[in-house]
Amino acid sequence: MNALVRSEASHRNSTIAVGPRPPAPVFAKPQPISFFTSNAEIYAQGETAGNFYRIEFGAVRIYRLLSDGRRQIAAFHLAGETFGFEADLTHHFFAEAIVATCLCTHRVSAGETLSQDLLPLALRYLARAQKHLLVVGRQNAVERIAAFLIDIADRQGGLEHIELSMSRQDIADYLGLTIETVSRGLTKLRDTGFIKFHGLRVLDICKPQALRLMCE
């Protein structure tokens, strides 16, 4: 299965208050900033919720575990995105920093108008998760990897240049594959000229149209 022991690298990072900041564009008041090192836990499944977070820089994985250690990453969140709000006051997932990450924390109590801002966000994430279900449920390995690359490229500004913050294991656990299958898929996409590597986690999409067609 997929029962790797990853936990020892994943302990809570101390929150570093860096003081007041200029107002964020969407939410009213200056809020505390906290910093997380790579693999630091932001919150755990079962923990009390109540805050949500805007990523100033870095990247975050949202995931769940089965009792035998199998992991599914439900979402990646990149710089600029807001995450961590829940329907009830409990977190149903784990959240960890993928790389060194800086978060701006917001309290839910801060204002009632927040739900006005949060609803479109929640709906976007819902559509994203449900689209990802099609990828994981019905596409083969290479199609899943293609869909992942297209998604990241679009979210990094629509360029064909990609800088991955996550490991092959993270990608595998996001796509419902093994690390070996992800590696073989990327190799196949490279050998067929769809992508070009400039380092393990840096690559260009050479045939964006064709790659898009592959996962429709």
Burial of residue 62 (CB within 10 Å: 0-12, 13-18, 19+) is: buried
Which of these ranges, 3-11, 18-26, 31-39, 80-88, lies near its own copies under the rule CB under 8 A?
Answer: 80-88
Strands 33-36 and 59-65: unpaired
Phi/psi of residue 21, each to 5°?
A: -130, 165
Dihedral sign from CA coordinates of 144, 149, 154, 155:
positive
Which of these ranges, 79-87, 151-159, 183-191, 202-210, lies near its own copies under the rule CB under 8 A?
Answer: 79-87
Q: Which residue has the tokens 């898009």?
A: 212
Specify the residue, 22 or 137, whose C-beta has the smaller distance to its own copies: 137
The answer to whether residue 89 forms part of the interface with its own copies (CB under 8 A) is no
Token pair of 61, please?
């994985």
Q: How far is the CB of 204 from its own copies (least distance, A)?
A: 26
State the binding partner of 181 from its own copies, DNA, none, CB within 5 to 8 A by kind: DNA
DSSP secondary structure letter of residue 9: G
Given candidates 9, 16, 17, 126, which one binds its own copies under the rule CB under 8 A?
126
Given candidates 124, 196, 198, 201, which one binds its own copies under the rule CB under 8 A?
124
Instruction: Report the C-alpha gap between 32 and 19 in whole angstroms.
Output: 6
Given candidates 12, 29, 64, 198, which one binds its own copies under the rule CB under 8 A?
64
Q: How far is the CB of 216 from its own copies (least distance, A)?
A: 5
Interaction site with DNA (CB under 7 A): 1-2, 140-142, 167-169, 176-184, 186-187, 200-201
Do the Cβ atoms of 73 and 132 come closer than 8 Å? no
Q: Total residues contacting its own copies (rule CB under 8 A)?
A: 41
Do the Cβ atoms of 13 and 33 come closer than 8 Å? no
Q: How far is the CB of 185 from DNA (least distance, A)?
A: 8
Under rule CB under 8 A, which residues in 130-169 are in contact with its own copies? 130-134, 136-139
Token pair of 153, please?
């490229």
Q: How far is the CB of 130 from its own copies (least distance, A)?
A: 4
Do the Cβ atoms of 33 and 17 come closer than 8 Å? yes
Instruction: Report the C-alpha gap between 35 and 145 in whole angstroms.
Output: 30
Q: Which residues bind its own copies (CB under 8 A)?
A: 2, 62, 64, 66-67, 70-72, 74-75, 85-87, 92-93, 115-116, 118-127, 129-134, 136-139, 173, 175-176, 216
